[in-house]
Structure 1
Amino acid sequence: MSTASISTTPSTGKVVPKREPKPGLILATIVTCQLMLVLDATIVNIALPKIQTSLKFSDANLSWVLNAYTLAFGGLLLLGGRAGDILGRRRMFVSGVILFTVASFIGGLAVDSTMLLASRALQGVGAAMAGPSMLALIITTFPEGAPRVKAMSLFTAVSSAGGSVGLLLGGMLTTWGSWRLVMYINVPIGAVAAIAAARLLNESPRVQGKFDIPGAITSVTGMGSLVYGFINASEHGWSNPTTIGVFVAAVVLLSSFVFIESRVDFPVFPLRLLRDSTRARSYGSYVLLVGAMFSMFFFLPQFMQEVLAYSPMKAGLAFLPLTATLFAVSRFIPKLLPRFGPRPLIVTGTALIAGALFWLSQVSIHTGFVTGLLAPFLMFGLGGGIAFSPIALNIMNGLAPRDSGAGSGLMQACQQIGGALGIAVLVTIFTSSKKGSHDPNPAVNFTHGLGTGLTVGAGIAVAVCLISLTLKPKPAAPSAGPAPVLE
């Protein structure tokens, strides 16, 4: 089996002095970049009508403004994570941020649909290079215990709330300016973040090994096929021949990937990481919970604009209480986790998310924001702030430094797969339910489909809650001591 060697020894004998670590500034840089990558998945949503008019997209091709980014990002995450382990996480992170920033600038200059779609795919490549290295850099910068819990709590809060921030920011930019601003806004942020990362971060020790070329090919094509399958299913249905063919290809390619990874010395993703039952269940929980979360971020903005006649900016502002609550609650996780352990927090948080989604499923065409939406939004923010950080820590804690890039790559891949899966499944259910409602008022039919989709989303959150009950309980630790070791 052919592999390409990667030298792990500097070509010169010079000793590169290490920078004095500045954890606060490092975390601020990483979190800012994560927010930029996460909100980019939703900030474009509200700008789509203006993009379609400006660049003359057809209805069929317009969705690829979103899909091009998702497909490149999701397909390359596993490879991006392992490349950081082998080539150096600082190098991958800075290179990815620069590529993402340049692609954003090109997208803002787009004169036709092809140029914009190419820039969106290039953004996805940059995100896949930078994304996995962020988590790995947190793991290597902040020691296990209270410092890491605080850093991960902030990181996961940004990851969870970034979608709603994107809706708000997209509404503001498209209302006050041009759709091109949703691309240009990344340029100054990315430039400052790349410079800060280059100055603040020390290069991580490189894993001695070789690139697993067959594993890399099957992971990229397999993950890409899986994400594309979900995208195509949401647009053309599960029985569409292309959907079926792509899913079959994904099964074959990912099965080949697992077979290859079990037999090479330096795999793209070490399968031994899944032997830990708690970590394996946490990966699965992350996929499902992100899928449930997307049921709200996908349907509610449409409901607000199409049924309640909100402007794009007002729809974005409506998510502000949810975002603020999620961020506020996440700040208490470093105190709660050592005291209670992860299981009670995950169970409580997912139960709150399920309750919020079910509450939202009861909306009608007469629902007001204060009377019908505000309370479940706050409930969702409370649940998300409690649940996401412990799940992420269950995944990342205990990883050897040489595997932190691969482990974080799969975690972010789970986020992309969960979002694509959630939209594909719930859009199918929404469409079927909407067609089954024969009210002469289209708004009533839309709301009926929305209720069904959110009910299923609540059921997915309940499933995560039940999975969480199977986790081993952790003994409470003194609040002044280190955080408990998570399995």
Structure 2
Amino acid sequence: MPPPQPLSPAETPVHDELSLTRRLILLFMFCLAQFLDAFSNSALFSAIPVLEVSMGMTESQSTWIMSAFQLTFASFLLISGRISDVYNPKTGFIGGVFGLGVISLCAGFVDDTIPLIILRALTGIASAMTIPSALALLVKVFPEPLEQARAIGTFGGCSCVATSLGLMIGAMFVQWASYHWVFWFIPIVAMPTALACAFIIPPEIANTKDNLEPAAAKWKSLDLLGVTILTVALILFIFAVTSGSTDGWASAAVLVPLIVSIMMVIGFFCWETRIHVDKAAIPPRTWFYPNFSILFAVALLPYLWWFTVFMIFTILWQNVFEWSAISSAVHMLPLGVAAFVMSFTGSLSRIFSPKWIILTGLSFGMVATVLMALGGGNPEDYWPYIFPALSLGSAGFMLTYTHTNIAIFQAAPSSMAGTVGAIFNGALQFGSAIGLAAASSIESSVEANHGGSHEYKGRAAVFWFLLTVASILFISVSICYDRSTDHKPQPEHGDPGHPARRSTDSDEKLNDANGTMIEKADLANLPV
């Protein structure tokens, strides 16, 4: 028989070439980038009241300090994911982390509203570069299913932990130093991290079939027109729903971008059907990978729940109960602690069906949401209602978030890790943006007829709304989730319906000339 062909750099297993220590260090670096992304948003919750006074902001301007980041972060995830899959994810990751540090350093010196909003928007773009590229690298470093599940769970857990710790650290800076340090803290961590990653991340883990192609083929694979159409559509859509809660849903500033964005989304899907399926920004087959669509729907909820809880209770505790920023942050710690504990449950997906784990998490979240709807209007309600709700709800939605994340990566081939990571994280952000706009409208309309913002009825109505969303998703997962693909390896590129063995040195097998299954590791011993 002819001599076996050597493996291409894209097919060479990486995990055996890296020591366990180096792989753990890489995981730490990826998690640190995730931590900084979440921190750059959550730490500002404590600083917003001071920023409003210091810069003379209006309510809508202070809203855009937060929304500008969310708008660009969500909108640029897809193009970042495509760049990570087609080009070098190492370059994208390091560039995103370094850019986040530089922009945050500049933001710390700004004392005017408009420049700060612009820098926050640029921060969102830099952060969007880090997540898909980190996930593309992570699945290369941890290709074995159990290790990958644990790594993805830990990576995802850093986001919620950073949200809680960011609130605390931001409150400490605001109370004992200056709000400027909320921005300056990020480059202190980000710049050394980017420098270290330039040396620690080996170039071979960035090798994929696509990024080894010639430059012209890469450019074609990027589908720049399709990505641009969808990115602009998402920017307009998120701008519209974010503006709806402050400018009114019937205003031209909301209706015009909303209508244009819908037309552009239709145009995007028309364009995608005209080009080769493998060159599309989001190949149509993506939505037909097992359970991919239902997992995408579930991903709309976790961030919505967490951010709603943060927004409602930080404002209630500081503006109505008159608690200090640090006291409010301390009372929020159960969210981070519960999420941190549940982030280590990734290995459960190799024992139990992700369906039952996701349903369990949604059940915990639904119970917690009921507790928040029933109690919380008085300081004495914290221990009997809010503390158990924060703990149980955060644990439940972290369980849902972690195993939805793991399952969606197992549904798609590793060659699409950057794009899948962008789609998943985009769903988290879209759900949060759209849901927060709806929640704000519900709260405002109820408060207008029931005593104003000092009453709890508007906030309770928001939690009943969240319970409705969670219940719909619970029913949808119960009916639509297909368990026949549980614990099966990722599908090969281009085969959505038939998962195949993963390409690792430990379990990938090939057929010899007689049809006998042989280990790839034994190729060198085959007779010539």
Shared fold per TM-score greater than 0.5 = yes
- Given candidates 459, 465, 480, the residue that maps to 1:450 is 459
Q: Alignment length, in residue pairs? A: 461
Greater mean alpha carbon deviation, residues 28-37 or residues 405-414:
405-414
Aligned amino acid, residue 191 of structure 2: A
Distance 2:169 2:270 in 1: 44
Distance 1:452 1:320 in 2: 24
- Given candidates 418, 423, 430, the residue that maps to 2:436 is 423
Distance 1:223 1:165 in 2: 30
Aligned amino acid, residue 300 of structure 1: F
Deviations 1:105-133 (A, max 9, x none): 00001132233222212111111111211
Distance 1:474 1:349 in 2: 21
Q: 1:176 to 1:423 in 2, by over 3 A?
A: same
Greater mean alpha carbon deviation, residues 119-128 or residues 284-293:
284-293
Q: How far is the alpha carbon of 1:458 from its aligned partner?
A: 1.7
The answer to whether 1:350 aligns with 2:362 is yes
Deviations 1:196-235 (A, max 9, x none): 2212213312513323221122021011112112211122
Q: How far is the alpha carbon of 1:19 from its aligned partner?
A: 7.7
Q: What pairs up with 1:54-93 in 2 under 5 angstroms?
A: 54-93=54-93
The answer to whether 1:25 aligns with 2:25 is yes
- Structure 2 equivalent of residue 205 of structure 1: 207
- Structure 2 equivalent of residue 260 of structure 1: 271
Q: How far is the alpha carbon of 1:484 from its aligned partner?
A: 5.1
The answer to whether 1:278 aligns with 2:291 is yes
Distance 2:378 2:334 in 1: 22
The answer to whether 1:45 aligns with 2:45 is yes
Distance 2:331 2:284 in 1: 42
Task: Give the percent of matched residue pairs that are identical in Structure 1 and Structure 2.
Answer: 20
Q: What pairs up with 1:33-432 in 2 under 5 angstroms?
A: 33-203=33-203, 204-206=206-208, 207=210, 208=213, 209=218, 210=220, 211-265=222-276, 266-334=279-347, 336-363=348-375, 364-432=377-445
Aligned amino acid, residue 276 of structure 1: Y
Distance 2:223 2:132 in 1: 18
Displaced runs of 4+ in structure 1, greater than 6 A?
A: none
Q: How far is the alpha carbon of 1:389 from its aligned partner?
A: 1.2
Whether the 8 Å contact between 1:68 and 1:124 is mirrored in structure 2 is yes
Aligned amino acid, residue 278 of structure 1: N
Q: 1:197 to 1:474 in 2, by over 3 A?
A: farther
Deviations 1:23-49 (A, max 9, x none): 100110000110110122221122012
Instruction: Give secondary structure in 2 for the equivalent of 1:44.
Output: helix
Instruction: Give secondary structure in 2 for the equivalent of 1:84.
Output: helix
Deviations 1:260-282 (A, max 9, x none): 22222322222211112501110
Whether the 8 Å contact between 1:101 and 1:191 is mirrored in structure 2 is yes
Greater mean alpha carbon deviation, residues 298-307 or residues 451-460:
298-307
Whether the 8 Å contact between 2:357 and 2:400 is mirrored in structure 1 is yes
TM-score normalized by the length of structure 1: 0.89
- Structure 2 equivalent of residue 472 of structure 1: 482
Q: 1:292 to 1:237 in 2, by over 3 A?
A: farther
Distance 1:390 1:59 in 2: 37
Q: How far is the alpha carbon of 1:367 from its aligned partner?
A: 3.4
TM-score normalized by the length of structure 2: 0.83
Pair member with larger Rg: 2
Distance 1:202 1:223 in 2: 34
- Structure 2 equivalent of residue 479 of structure 1: none
Q: 1:451 to 1:135 in 2, by over 3 A?
A: same
Distance 2:114 2:450 in 1: 38
Q: How far is the alpha carbon of 1:193 from its aligned partner?
A: 1.6
Greater mean alpha carbon deviation, residues 74-83 or residues 320-329:
320-329
Aligned amino acid, residue 284 of structure 2: L
Report the aligned-residue RMSD: 2.2
Instruction: Give secondary structure in 1 for the equivalent of 2:76.
Output: helix
Instruction: Give secondary structure in 2 for the equivalent of 1:367.
Output: helix
Greater mean alpha carbon deviation, residues 396-405 or residues 354-363:
396-405
Distance 1:294 1:464 in 2: 18
Distance 1:202 1:228 in 2: 39
Whether the 8 Å contact between 1:157 and 1:389 is mirrored in structure 2 is yes
- Structure 2 equivalent of residue 463 of structure 1: 472
Greater mean alpha carbon deviation, residues 40-49 or residues 83-92:
40-49
Distance 2:394 2:302 in 1: 13
Q: 1:337 to 1:213 in 2, by over 3 A?
A: closer
Distance 2:415 2:223 in 1: 15
Whether the 8 Å contact between 1:19 and 1:202 is mirrored in structure 2 is no
Q: How far is the alpha carbon of 1:475 from its aligned partner?
A: 8.6
Whether the 8 Å contact between 2:290 and 2:482 is mirrored in structure 1 is no
Whether the 8 Å contact between 1:356 and 1:377 is mirrored in structure 2 is yes
What 5-or-longer segments of structure 1 have no aligned partner? 1-8, 11-17, 477-482
Whether the 8 Å contact between 1:305 and 1:315 is mirrored in structure 2 is yes
Instruction: Give secondary structure in 2 for the equivalent of 1:190.
Output: helix
Distance 2:274 2:293 in 1: 20
Q: How far is the alpha carbon of 1:188 from its aligned partner?
A: 1.4
Q: How far is the alpha carbon of 1:237 from its aligned partner?
A: 2.8
Instruction: Give secondary structure in 2 for the equivalent of 1:309.
Output: coil
Distance 1:236 1:188 in 2: 37
Distance 1:229 1:366 in 2: 36
Q: 1:227 to 1:287 in 2, by over 3 A?
A: same
- Structure 2 equivalent of residue 14 of structure 1: none
